[in-house]
Chain A
Amino acid sequence: MTSQVSSPAEQTDGAVVGDVVGEQRKASTEKEVRRLDRVIIRFAGDSGDGMQLTGDRFTSETASFGNDLSTLPNFPAEIRAPAGTLPGVSSFQLHFADHDILTPGDAPSVLVAMNPAALKANIGDVPRGAEVIVNTDEFTKRAMQKVGYDTNPLDDGSLDGYSVHPVPLTTLTVEALKEFDLSRKDAGRSKNMFALGLLSWMYHRPTDGTETFLRQKFAKKPEIMKANLAAFRAGWNFGETTEDFAVSYEVLPAAKAFPTGTYRNISGNLALSYGLVAAGKQADLPLYLGSYPITPASDILHELSKHKNFGVRTFQAEDEIAGIGAALGAAFGGSLAVTTTSGPGVALKSETIGLAVSLELPLLIVDIQRGGPSTGLPTKTEQADLLQAMYGRNGEAPVPIVAPQTPADCFDAAIEAARIALTYRTPVFLLSDGYLANGSEPWRIPEVDELPDLRTQFAQGPNHTLDDGTEVFWPYKRDPETLARPWAIPGTPGLEHRIGGIEKQDGTGNISYDPANHDFMVRTRQAKIDGIQVPDLEVDDPTGEARLLVLGWGSTYGPITAAVRRLRTAGQSVAQAHLRHLNPFPRNLGEVLKRYDKVVVPEMNLGQLATLLRAKYLVDALSYNQVNGMPFKAEQLATALKEAIDG
């Protein structure tokens, strides 16, 4: 959640285990129940073990219970990397709390490791004292050797200090499913549901949602449905009865962290998809998506293709270029046009984006950034496409840039990008990233009548009078306020006109190679983008005494805010601001930067925003960078900021 609610627990955001804030006994059990303010669970297993599904289900249960939460799915690019290997490990981290939280958490308080590879790949992130649940069935000599364990970590002392729960998950699952007509292998597949049941018991999660989910998912395979339900319940019962798990935990709903309203849990890509559907609806224009599948953007194509009853057309093109080409064609025809991609796709679309700049048609370019260059790290996050979005075209081709800052914020950012595109008749970049795309958090569902009105007017008739009195239509005669040109769509009588990538004469839009005209048009296109109305940058500086400003953009919002809270809890004064608009920058940005002795810019790149700030405002912005494919950890960031304050 993004709201600023103070809580004594803020300073511990990311610590090993949350404070025990109360203890109570549950009537139905002999076991002790402890109350925690927050928990970070990481499920880890083989790519084929269903860890993402397990995490998703646990998240849904947690969301419906009313905790605040933040998630971090982390999986390899390979669909099924060789079983039992380190590169094949897939994990899902979930942070949930009885208060407002901002990140998926730095360090898990519970690790569920489905095999030796999952243990080896993840234990480094898990602090001593944390609980580690391992599937002992998979700890065979061969499996351990495969990942370089010479001795069994479960009994060689290397896990000393952890609270280890060795559970033969596979055996228990197979045993629970013996009445079903399933092979040992098939029965074993449900072990993730057994683990989910166990964790659901451990943290008092509601189970109805998962039962309903399983019934729906396997409606056409009743045997599999029953087996999964049985495994899920067996896991729950195992927790209830086995002595190994002496304690279960409660994390109360985060009622105080949430403003009144109806909530759901939502991932960035889903929120972004809904934002696009909503933008089409609010603009009263048909939505047209031209796209080519690419990780981590494909989910938006999948999602939008489900909503044809909203008049949404989705076109899976032959390549990235055709994806944006079709979108641009649809924009010419009067659709709210979108193309979705990631960095490599943006590179391929560059020439068409330049054409869209020249045509001055509304177009949304959604870039779900991932690790680069080239293919890079397809399933990991990065913010290194900022300069590509800003400058990656031939000629002077300015394009507005909007960046969402949390998964749920992708909804509002999509609507804002559409507003700019439609108002100013320009392509607009929406720069999300892999972390926002796949991560999730609770979202207060907006009322439709709260959403902005995006309706725009197509040109209907002549807009210019020639010297001889003739009324004509000039496709490049601009609105004096926005500098937008008229959007005249085919089918409108009398407005037949031709547009193209060759420089056009101001006003008439006819081909022009006139030097003075080109100079004028280049400057005018720039002025149009520079003149886009964006809200002033708000600075959060509660004491008003901060000498250091930390300025971020995009998905670093959560970690930066968590780090800033830690510093403030420790008595430091630090100001924080976050940019939603990267082009144009808010009008007051220069003034804000000059207010502070130091400006620190944390980015998941090598300093791209810092470069822009230095160039434009001559400010000695300090870059703090991380490009390891993962979001910042709040603790590290807090340390770095503390050093900047002290240094």
Chain B
Amino acid sequence: MAETITEGPGTIEALSLVPKAEAKQSMKDFKSDQEVRWCPGCGDYAVLAAVQGFMPELGLAKENIVFVSGIGCSSRFPYYMNTYGMHSIHGRAPAIATGLASSRRDLSVWVVTGDGDALSIGGNHLIHALRRNVNLKILLFNNRIYGLTKGQYSPTSEVGKITKSTPMGSLDAPFNPVSLAIGAEASFVARTVDSDRKHLTSVLREAAAHPGTALVEIYQNCNIFNDGAFEVLKDKQQAEEAVIRLEHGQPIRFGVDGAKGVVRDSLTGDLKVVDVTEANQSQILVHDAHSASPTTAFALSRLADPDTLHHTPIGVFRSTDRPVYDTLMSDQLDTAIEQNGKGDLGALLAGGDTWTVVG
């Protein structure tokens, strides 16, 4: 037998029922034989590479991994993973994945979706998957544009955006996916960026380990229809001021030498960015991703300016324990058997008031 994995899924509660790989895996094992057909330069390539590169770390039997997607550029993702996969219909991936995950607890089920797929046509399924806390890992590729239909504004596009369908500018106020997810009772919400492989991988690692629904928003560049949408977060110099890296248990500081920090406004209770001084240093908010209350995580999600993306937190906003839907569903089946015995079809059919006709 090949080298056995001695650590990994066995220690991860979310994956405890998923069989482990018998042999050590490499990135190559997760590449399917299908030619990848995204536009050259698309941010999706980076995410695919990060996911394929990270999967061996989980050490799961790859036949027990399933990727389910909807419709859109990112939803082609399952075709490129050498696991089980389903490329479904627009917006419905969370619903389909819910049926799969809740009937098969031995599977690691991942949903790949985009801002249009998850937040527009499939908004309903997304929020309900989050509130139920089904054991799904949802990767939301947010490029703030419709790519596959060639460049209309999306539900995360900024107000006033000029696109083919909005020649005079978009009138729609955008969703903030992290705020939305926290509002929908999500137990795990994170944000990362396509080009930051290390950060992306660390967030995926935490998401995979989370029992319940994990929503990971991935800022992803569409170099054809919305190029540079996240440039401010990627350009080294600008990023210093624009990006707030959240780390559980650490004071929330950013900027050159951590010159800036996040404090709670004592009057409103809201959060605000301040220059860190000797006097206010002790008041800098320490990030608690595990807080039972979503209030501070929500306030953090509101720090970013939707137009300039200044003060955009990335990392895990919230990661809390909540009962997992598929576990509860399975427990009810066990309880029913305990209470009523294993179902006896003959007895069921012959239940109620009966009478007998003799010949």
A residues apposed to B, CB below 8 Å = 60, 63-66, 209, 255, 258-265, 274, 277-278, 281, 286, 288, 290, 307-313, 315, 317-319, 321-322, 325-335, 337, 351-352, 354-355, 359, 445-448, 490-502, 510-511
| Interface flag for B85 (CB, 8 Å) | yes
**In the complex, chain A residues whose CB is within 8 Å of the CB of B343:** 277, 281, 307, 309-312
- Whether B267 sits at the interface, judged by CB under 8 Å, is no
Q: Is the CB of B336 within 8 A of A258?
A: no
Q: What residues on B are CB-neighbors of A510 within 8 Å?
A: 34
CB-defined interface of B98-117 with A at 8 Å, one 1/0 digit per residue? 11111110110000000000
Task: Determine the residue in chain A with the shortest Cβ distance to B90.
Answer: A351
Residues of chain A within 8 A (CB-CB) of B65 are 490
Taking a contact as CB atoms closer than 8 A, the residue among A66, A274, A311, A319 that contacts B348 in the complex is A274
Complex CA distance for A407 and B244, rounded to whole angstroms = 64
Provide the B303-345 mask, 1 if CB < 8 A to any CB of A, else 0: 0000000000000000000000000010011011101111101
**Chain B residue nearest in CB terms to A499:** B86
Of the residues B34, B79, B88, B348, contact of A307 by C-beta under 8 Å: B348
Question: Which residues from B are CB-within-8-Å of A321?
Answer: 92, 95, 125
Contact of A64 among B124, B332, B353 (CB under 8 A): B353
> B84 contacts A498, CB within 8 Å?
yes
CB-CB under 8 A for A265 and B353, given A313-B102, A332-B100, A500-B87: yes
Q: Are A325 and B63 in contact (CB under 8 A)?
A: no
Chain B 116-131, CB-CB to A under 8 Å as 1, else 0, gives 0000000011001000
Give chain A nearest CB distance to B262 CB in angstroms.
Answer: 35
B359 touches A (CB below 8 Å):
yes
Is there contact, CB below 8 Å, between B353 and A60? yes
Chain A CB within 8 A of B6 CB: no
Select A493's contact among B63, B89, B342, B346, beta carbons within 8 Å.
Answer: B63
CA distance A270 to B339 in the complex (A): 22
Instruction: Point out the residue from B62, B345, B357 that lies within 8 Å of A278, measured CB to CB.
Output: B345
A315 contacts B63, CB within 8 Å? no
Q: Tell me if B82 is interfacial: C-beta within 8 Å of chain A.
A: yes
B64 contacts which chain A residues (CB < 8 A)? 490-491
B125: A residues at CB distance < 8 A: 318, 321-322, 325
Q: A308-B332, A309-B337, A493-B63 are in contact. Are A288 and B357 (CB under 8 A)?
A: no
Chain A min CB distance to B32 (Å): 7
- Contact across chains for A262 and B95 when beta carbons are under 8 A apart: no
Q: A63-B353, A260-B358, A260-B359 are in contact. Are A355 and B82 (CB under 8 A)?
A: no
The reply to whether the CB of B352 lies closer than 8 angstroms to some CB of chain A is yes
Question: Which residues of A have CB within 8 Å of B61?
Answer: 491, 493
Return A500 CB to nearest CB of chain B, in Å.
3
- Residues in chain B near residue A490, CB distance under 8 A: 63-66, 84, 100, 104, 107
The answer to whether B86 and A332 touch across the interface, beta carbons within 8 angstroms, is yes
Q: A288-B99, A448-B345, A491-B106 are in contact. Are A311 and B333 (CB under 8 A)?
A: yes
| A352 vs B356: C-alpha distance when bound (angstroms) | 45
| CB-CB nearest in chain A for B356 | A262
B96: Cβ under 8 A from any A Cβ: yes
List the 3 closest A-B pairs by CB distance, nearest first: A500-B87, A329-B99, A326-B99
Q: Is the CB of A334 within 8 A of B104?
A: yes
Task: Report if A333-B104 is in contact (Cβ < 8 Å); known contacts: A262-B350, A290-B99, A493-B63.
Answer: yes
Given A495-B63, A498-B85: A445 touches B354 (CB 8 Å cut-off): yes
B145 is an interface residue with CB less than 8 A from chain A: no
B127, closest chain A residue (CB): A318
